[in-house]
Amino acid sequence: MENELDELFARLRVATTPAEIEALQDGIWQLWLATGDQLLDKYLEAGIRALAAGDYTHAITEFTHLIEARPSFAEGWNKRATAYYLRGEYRASLLDVAETLRLEPRHFGALSGWATMLRMLGDQRGSLHVLRRLARLCPHLPGLANQLRDLEDELEG
């Protein structure tokens, strides 16, 4: 799986069209979501269903079960970070984002969420730093250049 991820990330760095970028990201997400374990799949699926239904407390419970069963599964941390974020618990979300990125430093979803939260919390410089890190992974991500330019302008002005 790691070789396949490396290959997809190498292609993502040079991808230029939105359709190509989206297809590569989808392939990466498929690998990230693969637990290889029925019980872990059950927690993951239940958490994702709860997220979609807006039941963030239940989603957090399911993702916590997943994390406790396999702490090395980065996507469990990322999904719980999302649930915390949607529930308005930014500190808890940021802690889970940090763990996601410790386990998978290339996690563009976690980087994007981190940048968004930093900007919401008024840390424009921190958000810019994280977006630049994201740009090293996927330079042509739709909308990223505009976000970078807006933040740079804001910080210069």
128-144 per-position pLDDT tens digit: 999 999 999 999 999 99
Phi, psi for residue 35 in degrees, rounded to 5: -90, -30
Cα angle for residues 70, 71, 75 (degrees, 5° grid): 85
CA–CA gap between residue 108 and residue 28 (Å, rounded): 10
Which pLDDT score, from 0 to 100, does residue 8 have? 97
Tell me, what DSSP letter sits at residue 157? -
Phi first, then psi, for residue 42 (nearest 5°) are -60, -45
- Residue 62 CB partners (closer than 8 Å, separation 6+): 43, 44, 46, 47, 50
Q: Does domain 38-105 have CATH number 1.25.40.10?
A: yes
Judged against a pLDDT cut of 90, whether residue 1 lies above it is answered with no
